[in-house]
Amino acid sequence: MKSRRQILKSSAAFAASGLALTAGLLGGLAATGPASAQVARPNIVYIIADDMGWRDAGFQGSDIKTPHIDRLAKEGARFEQFYVQPMCTPTRAAFMTGRYPLRYGLQTGVIPAAGTYGVPLDEYLLPQTLKDAGYRTALVGKWHLGHAKPEYWPRQRGFDSFYGALVGEIDHFKHSSHGVKDWYRNNKPLEEHGFDNSLFGDEAARVIERHDADSPLFLYLAFTAPHTPFQAPQEYLDRYKDIEDENRRAYAAMISVMDDGIGKVVAALDKRGMRDDTIIVFHSDNGGVRSSLFAGDSKVSGGLPADNGPYRDGKGTLYEGGTRVVALANWPGKIKPGVVEGMIHVVDMYPTLAALAGAKLDHNKPLDGMDLWATISEGRPSPRQEVVYNVDPMAGAVRSGDWKLVWKASLPQSIELFDLSKDKSETTNLAGNNPDKVRELQGRVTELAGEMRPPLLLMEAVRLTFVSPPVTADPSLLFSLGD
């Protein structure tokens, strides 16, 4: 079995990527909104699915059975325009920082198994802010925000406890990545058997059962379902015997495992008498996978099973299918049930939750997120009028009102302009008929490109190409798009 050190050394062969870097230093675009109304500090249970398609929940019209998620949706707010980043690491970083990943170099790809970087240590993460406000903090599940050095690990970034995996894609039964075990409790490797997502649900319930109610709880539950490899316990596969496609059957089974885990969490909250004092948020980290380029390291034969509904494409792309995700929030008596139409971005959750917690934002860099509690809890119009999908040296996309620009800047260039109020599926390119709007939105992308940090993934490639001694390696260890 290869060691982590061996994998890090072997990644040098990525050399000839030839990807160009653009210079630019970070500016600060603050977009904070009004403080949340004064409510009792809630427990916070924040749940993220991994590569789940927009339609792949029962309440969205899927044949996949998700009764626990469906109940949270029925009794809570269902978000029609909840945006994330196109891939895993950037979305998780945006949630943890309240800032677009372009501001600290995590806008390109994901942190690969051989990556030596993580969320920069001068970013003040949400669990740190909540700890300052008196919360107990726990992470159960997937981290994927830095693993090469302990300084990047969850226990050193504000979490009182951590149980799960540090990197991106792992074998769900073996708990390993590239032949290296990736399973931890706090800062120590853990040998344990079982399906990872079942273990996550059980552990999250235990965190609640053991929680000292004298302090509020922030539980971040990050499932690895339904990310590749498509695996599930036989009892869950048997629930979907009627699905002929093996990938779709396993994918559906993985979502059901996650749904049962969420049911255990809600039951534990009920048992402890904490449910009425707890806000639960659920969403996917990006859209479902529709291209094998972004399916991960696993060798996936056959079709990709995720369903993003009416939205174009999926994970890894700047289209709506990659960035507009299934999402909900539930807090009995505090969040009005119904559909919330306004735009919300994952960066908004940091200031919104911090305000609910009574936390001060004394240590943060300027946030891109807004406090959207009135939108989330009452369905009021969202003050957010802009969404930055992403900006990196190769492409950028922004939305202003209903207008969305997707600009592929690398050769051959392409420019697409969509009116999402009339064309949410992005089928009609209106760029040729609206040159002024194109120039306006291109100017915004250019402005953001001037503010961004060079992507750390590309900097890593340059370092290994021109600084590290040449070795023979599998380049996918450095640059795996789908983890």
**Three-class secondary structure of residue 276 per DSSP:** helix
Handedness of CA 180, 184, 188, 193 (dihedral sign): negative
Helix (H) or strand (E) segment spanning residue 207: helix 196-210
Query: Which one of the listed residues 88, 175, 227, 345 is annotated catalytic?
Result: 88
Residue 412: asked if its preceding bond is cis (omega within 30°), the reply is yes
Q: Which of the residues 68, 144, 172, 178 is marked catalytic?
A: 144
Q: CB neighbours of 40 closer than 8 A, spacing ≥ 6?
A: 277
Alpha carbons 412 and 416: distance in angstroms, whole number: 13
Burial 460-470 (b: 16+ CB within 10 A, else e): bbeebbeeeee
Distances from the Cα of 34 to the Cα of 311, 370, 407, angstroms: 32, 8, 32
Judge whether 316 and 248 are in contact, CB under 8 Å: no
172 counts as catalytic: no
DSSP tag of 324: B
Q: Please state, in angstroms and rounded to a whole number, the distance separating the CA atoms of residues 78 and 279.
A: 14
147 counts as catalytic:
no
Sequential DSSP letters for 460-481: HHHHHHHTSPP----GGGT--T
- Other Cβ atoms within 10 Å of 128 Cβ, number: 17
Buried/exposed code over 169-182 (b: 16+ C-beta within 10 A; e: otherwise):
bbbbeebebbebbb
For residues 76 and 281, the answer to whether their CB atoms sit within 8 Å is no
The first and second tokens of residue 418, run together, are 């969509």
β-strand pairing of 77-83 with 327-330? antiparallel
Q: Which residues are catalytic?
A: 88, 144
